Structures are given as structure tokens and as C-alpha cells.
Amino acid sequence: MDPTVSPFDHVRLFIPGPTEVAPEVRTALARPLIGHRGEDFKTLFGRLTPRLQAVFRTRSPVLTATASATAIMEAAVRNAVRKRCLCLVNGAFAERWYQICLANDIPADRLDWEWGQSVKPGPLEDRLKLGLYDAVTLVHNETSTGVASPLEEIAGVVACFPEILLLVDTVSSLGGARVEVDDWRIDVCLAGSQKALGLPPGLTFFSLSDRALERAKTCSRRGYAFDFVQYHDFWQRSLVPTTPAVSLLYATDLALDRILGEGLEARFARHREMAETCRRWAQDRFELFPETGYESDTLTAVRNRRGVDVVGLNRELKRRGAVISPGYGKIQSETFRIAHMGEIQPAELRQLLGWIDEILKLG
Ligand SMILES: *Cc1c(COP(=O)(O)O)cnc(C)c1O
């Protein structure tokens, strides 16, 4: 990075994870450790719970796992599916859930939409009426395509089937876009630390409804390391079953203050503002990849119709102090992605877009 051209003190991450972490949150990682069975730990952990519940908008437990989000996607289906799972697939992360079911010998079907489309309630309702399923998986914000599916409407459909649990990956939306766990009746809602929550990678937070807990108690497949029943037992005593990443919990303590200090509504508005800025910029110069009306507020997936060399672009951006992301999975070369989530501020995004214009001689 060249300090003569950059207002930033390090290379800013406009990628969909890991994202920027505030200096004070990073500093917390260096604190001396404490044992995870003592009173100090319980005090720390107990302080996190009500604030995590506020972020998830739930009165149910919000548990913390030292693991990346994929591990808890796996745990969720192991703890929730007794009969058969329906996986709603409209991109790479949604498909991951189906692959996880197969890898765990969990009976599963997939209901597909083209990449770039959102999941739609209509076909879902038709499928659920068959009476085959006891769980549905959904990715709220599909990070591979930049599509946000209408979670509230989809949850409304699933709620009409009392036997069916709704498992939702909000990994790249929670903390940046509205997720109402209780009002929308989401049974398991999970989010990784390294996306819109603005924490380093390494933790996954997940809520557990009463129904999900009762179901888990009857699931023989729930495994050992991420047994939700055991997690819940420990959680009631402000503990976790196995050694947690204590340093990341210090960081979470501060990050939650930042999130709730800003206020969820203000945070959603900031993400919306950045998304609108980025979408306008992309529409003028490229094209948006997502179906109109379902664009994500936390990242923008751009159709690379100019054939821009994203590796070369990133080399130039890095000199100035920023980095963006290529496409993901089967649309890797057709698209690129600009994430604007967590700690990124509107002025920083405008700086980035200005640099891209300058490098590509656009605008
Ligand atoms: C990043 C991401 C994941 C995977 O998270 P890991 O922490 O890498 O396991 C899952 N789902 C979505 C929507 C994501 O954006």
C-alpha cells in the first residue's frame, strides 16, 4: 500500500468475509486469558447473552460456538431433521446445505431457483403440502450471487406447517439487514462472526427456539461436538461445553456495544444507503447480477460485462488501500462482488468506487 495515495492505514476489506474489525475490537484480542470454567468467564458470557438476543431480536437462547458457520449449518440439520429436509437452493451457500445433508446421510430434497433469483414462497408452499418434510433450510442473503430472499414471507409459509422447523443461514446479513427471529418464527438462525457483525473469523452465533430444542432432544443424529441439547444445558449456566475462543469473546463484548450503540435501525439504514450507492454505480458502468428487487444490502454482485481483470484491478486497489472480491463458484468469472457490510462506512465505499473508476478509466 502506498501511503501517498491512501487515506487508510491498512488495506480495507470490501470482501464478503472476513470484514473490517474496529481497532478497539482488535485490541481486545490481546488481553490476558481467563479460564473458561470460572466466575470471570460466566460474568463475561452472561453479559453477551442479552445483547446477542437484542441483535437476533429474540427471547430464545442465542448460543455461541467456536467454529466457522459451516459447522453450525451441519449441526443444525443434524439436530433438527428426523424425517426429511427440504433445501431451498438459489446459490452456492444454499447448495452447501443440501451437500451437508447428503454427507451426513440425512434424507433431503432440493428445490432450485436459477442463480441470481431469490427463493419464492409459492413453489415452496406447494412442495411443503406434500407432507414429506420436517425441516427447511434457507440462506437469507446468498453471498455467492448477492441476492436477498424475502425471509419474512418465506417464514410465513413455513409457519403454516406446525411440524416443520425453519433453519436460516443469516451469515452475511445479520447485523446489516433486518432479521426478526421471534416475529418471523425462525427456529434456528445462525450467523458467523466475520461478516456483517464486524468481528474476526472464528465464532458462530445461533438462536434456538423451544420447538428446535424439543426436536433436538428426539434426534439421534445430533452428534457430540455440536449437540444443541448439551449446548443449551451449558448455556443455562453461562458456560459452553468445550474450550471456547475466549479472546474472540472479549472482542464480541466490544463489538456488541458498537452494534447496539449505533442502533440496529441506524445500522440497517447505513447498509441500505451503501447498497444503493453501490448499485447505482454498478448499473451505470456494468449491470447487476441479482434479480431486480432482491438485491442484497450487504454486498453487491456485479455482472462483469466489460470483462475487467479483477486480479489486476485488485493489485491496483491494494496499492491504494482496498480489496474487492472476485465471483464465487460457477459464476466466478462472470461477476465480481463488492461487500459493504459491518464496519464499512459510506465515505469509504465512495472512496473505493472512485478508485475503481480511476483505475479502469470509467465514470
Ligand atoms: C461465509 C458464508 C458461509 C460460510 O461461512 P464459514 O464461516 O466460512 O463456514 C455460509 N453461508 C453464507 C451465506 C456465507 O456468506
Residues with CB under 6 A from ligand 1: 16-17, 68-70, 93, 139, 143, 169, 171-172, 192, 195
Name 300's bridge partners.
338
- Ligand 1 atom nearest to 204, measured from its CA: 7
Distance of CA 198 to the CA centre of its chain: 11
- Ligand 1 atom nearest to 170, measured from its CA: 13
- pLDDT band, residue 4 (cuts 50/70/90): confident
- Ligand 1 atom nearest to 93, measured from its CA: 11
pLDDT digits (tens, 9 = 90+) for 281-340: 999 999 999 999 999 999 999 999 999 999 999 999 999 999 999 999 999 999 999 999
CA-nearest of 13, 35, 355, 56 to 200 is 13
> What CA–CA distances, in Å, run from 81 to 88, 90, 234, 335?
15, 21, 22, 35
pLDDT digits (tens, 9 = 90+) for 77-103: 999 999 999 999 999 999 999 999 999
pLDDT digits (tens, 9 = 90+) for 249-268: 999 999 999 999 999 999 99
8-state DSSP, 32? P
What is the residue-wise DSSP string for 81-113? -SS-EEEEESSHHHHHHHHHHHHTT--EEEEE-
- pLDDT band, residue 209 (cuts 50/70/90): very high
Residue predicted with more confidence, 4 or 337? 337
Distance 70 CA to ligand 1 centre (A): 6
Distance of CA 319 to the CA centre of its chain: 29
- Do residues 336 and 285 make contact, with C-beta atoms less than 8 angstroms apart? no
- Ligand 1 atom nearest to 140, measured from its CA: 13
Residue 207 cell numbers, joined: 438462536
Q: Which of 3-12, 49-58, 236-245, 343-352 has the lowest mean pLDDT?
A: 3-12
In angstroms, rounded to a whole number, what is the distance separating the alpha carbons of residues 279 and 271?
Answer: 12
The mean pLDDT value of the chain amounts to 97
Ligand 1 test: best mutation among 119, 151, 172, most atoms within 8 Å of CB?
172
Instruction: Check pLDDT > 90 for residue 363.
Output: no
In angstroms, rounded to a whole number, what is the distance separating the alpha carbons of residues 157 and 328?
Answer: 30
User: What average pLDDT does this structure show over 37-52?
Assistant: 97
Query: What pTM does this model have?
Result: 0.98
The confidence score (pLDDT) of residue 342 equals 98
Ligand 1 test: best mutation among 13, 19, 64, 70, most atoms within 8 Å of CB?
70
